[in-house]
């Protein structure tokens, strides 16, 4: 139970509003030069000035809190996460309220960290950043390896030592802090640098082991997105075997340790020698098998004498001559048939003309037999009216009469 402080303001004292506010501010800041509070964050907003305003609360109370711009924060602040803040109380006289100025903030326990990481993992997975179809294969024999890590940490020394033991290659270091407020941005910048310069065959992002809170930069969205966007194959070697950061899901290959990353990226000299020996043995076996097959093929070859070859060629020529005789005979028969047809053409044309002449005579005879003039020659006549139409009744007035030898106009009589 906190002790109740003795009052030092007398009942007969009268203060101005400004003096009372200043006195209250001094009392609060003196009484709480530093305090640690555990609670849940809510109402997080960032002002244009860069300051962060929020509320830390539990089931019974809430306190306004401020993080000034430039104060290091090692993780992304989100609604509902449980944190432990360290800061000092102060008052804001213009609004007559009190608040806490946060100097440092940390997640409250492993459970809260794991909950936050799981939520972030689900979000990034839904965006497709962890899809297996996007994973790239590592080069078999890289010539240059880019490493993003601290230049003073053990991780970089372990990687260099293991590479020298296994398969010496050229190593480029992008120095980055691997813990603290700026670590995530620096690691992401290292990945983007190697991709922009395109000067390495594979990238290793590495850090030694540590507490879960220390490894959080490798689960920040900026790092995960940079790893997923890398067009250069990327290996994640962060922490120890049980440690899983979100960069592990975005990387093309996850190694259990920085040393494991070096072992993954290059083969050992001994394994290469063994592989070359195996290839040599397989080549020798294949060569011996091929030579044996060639020997068998040569043994099975039946070499003919020059006389036999000439006789076979003569037989082929005879066959060709016989085939040519048959073809020529058929061609000659066809030509004779065409010539015979041409020789008969005048007779055919003469017969055709005679047929046409007879047809014309027959047609002429039919026309003559059907002509009305033949009827007139037998004593008949045709009577027409003034419009030259034939009259067939005595009720109509005739205008002319046509006989076989001429026409008589009645009107002129």
DSSP state of 397: P
Helix (H, G, I), strand (E, B) or coil at 205: strand
**Are 157 and 65 part of one and the same domain?**
no
Averaged over 18-30, what is the pLDDT?
Answer: 81
Taking 70 as the threshold, does the pLDDT of residue 401 lie above it?
Answer: yes
pLDDT tens string 36-88 = 998 888 999 999 998 999 999 988 899 999 999 988 887 778 888 888 889 99
Residue 274's pLDDT is what?
A: 64
In sequence order, which residues have a C-beta less than 8 Å from that of residue 404 and are 6 or more positions away? 373, 376, 377
Q: Is the dihedral of CA 392, 393, 397, 398 positive or negative?
A: positive
| CA–CA distance, 384 with 397 (Å, rounded to integer) | 9
CATH of the domain at 73: 2.40.50.140
Q: Is 314 part of any domain?
A: no
Q: Is 339 part of any domain?
A: no
Choose one of 62, 85, 107: the last residue of a domain: 107
Taking 60 as the threshold, does the pLDDT of residue 344 lie above it?
Answer: yes
Taking 80 as the threshold, does the pLDDT of residue 265 lie above it?
Answer: yes
pLDDT tens string 232-261 = 999 999 988 777 889 999 999 999 999 999
Q: In terms of residue numbers, what domain contains 213? A: 142-266
**Are 102 and 175 part of one and the same domain?**
no
Choose one of 266, 300, 329: the last residue of a domain: 266
pLDDT tens string 173-200 = 999 999 888 899 999 999 999 999 999 9
Choose one of 266, 288, 311: the last residue of a domain: 266
Q: What share of the chain has pLDDT > 70, as a percent? A: 92
| CA–CA distance, 43 with 79 (Å, rounded to integer) | 7
What is this structure's pTM? 0.51
Q: Is 390 part of any domain?
A: yes
Taking 60 as the threshold, does the pLDDT of residue 1 lie above it?
Answer: no
Number of domains observed in the structure of the chain:
3
Q: Is 304 part of any domain?
A: no
**Are 45 and 154 part of one and the same domain?**
no
Q: Is 350 part of any domain?
A: no
Taking 60 as the threshold, does the pLDDT of residue 365 lie above it?
Answer: yes
What is the residue-wise DSSP string for 11-51? TT----HHHHHHHHHHHHHHH-SSEEEEEEEEEEEE-TTS-
């Amino acid at each position: 139970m906190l002790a109740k402080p003795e009052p030092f303001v007398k009942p007969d004292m009268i203060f101005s509003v400004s003096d009372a506010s200043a006195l209250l501010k001094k009392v609060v800041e003196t009484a709480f030069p530093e305090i640690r509070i555990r609670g849940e964050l809510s109402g997080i907003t960032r002002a244009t000035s860069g300051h962060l305003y929020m509320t830390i609360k539990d089931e019974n109370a809430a306190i306004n809190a401020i993080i000034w711009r430039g104060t290091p924060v090692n993780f992304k602040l989100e609604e509902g996460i449980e944190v432990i803040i360290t800061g000092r109380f102060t008052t804001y006289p213009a609004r007559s309220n009190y608040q806490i100025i946060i100097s440092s903030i940390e997640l409250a326990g492993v459970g809260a960290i794991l909950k936050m990481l799981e939520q972030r993992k689900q979000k990034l997975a839904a965006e497709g950043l962890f899809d297996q179809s996007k994973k790239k294969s590592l080069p078999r024999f890289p010539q240059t390896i880019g490493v993003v890590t601290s230049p003073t940490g053990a991780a970089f020394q372990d990687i260099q030592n293991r590479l020298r033991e296994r398969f010496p290659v050229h190593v480029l270091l992008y120095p980055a802090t691997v813990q603290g407020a700026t670590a995530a941005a620096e690691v992401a910048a290292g990945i983007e640098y190697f991709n922009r310069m395109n000067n390495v065959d594979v990238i290793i992002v590495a850090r030694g082991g540590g507490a879960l809170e220390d490894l959080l930069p490798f689960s920040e969205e900026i790092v995960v997105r940079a790893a997923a966007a890398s067009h250069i194959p990327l290996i994640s070697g962060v922490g120890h075997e049980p440690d899983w950061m979100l960069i592990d899901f975005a990387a093309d290959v996850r190694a259990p340790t920085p040393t494991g990353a070096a072992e993954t990226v290059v083969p050992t000299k001994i394994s290469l020698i063994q592989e070359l020996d195996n290839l040599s043995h397989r080549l020798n076996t294949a060569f011996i098998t091929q030579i044996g097959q060639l020997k068998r093929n040569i043994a099975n070859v039946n070499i003919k004498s020059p006389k036999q070859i000439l006789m076979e060629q003569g037989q082929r020529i005879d066959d060709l001559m016989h085939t040519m005789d048959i073809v020529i005979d058929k061609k000659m028969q066809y030509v004779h048939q065409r010539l015979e047809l041409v020789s008969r053409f005048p007779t055919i044309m003469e017969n055709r003309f005679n047929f046409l002449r007879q047809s014309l005579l027959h047609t002429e005879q039919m026309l003559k037999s059907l002509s009305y003039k033949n009827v007139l020659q037998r004593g008949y006549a045709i009577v027409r009216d003034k419009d030259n139409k034939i009259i067939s009744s005595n009720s109509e007035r005739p205008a002319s009469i046509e006989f076989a030898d001429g026409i008589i106009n009645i009107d002129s009589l």
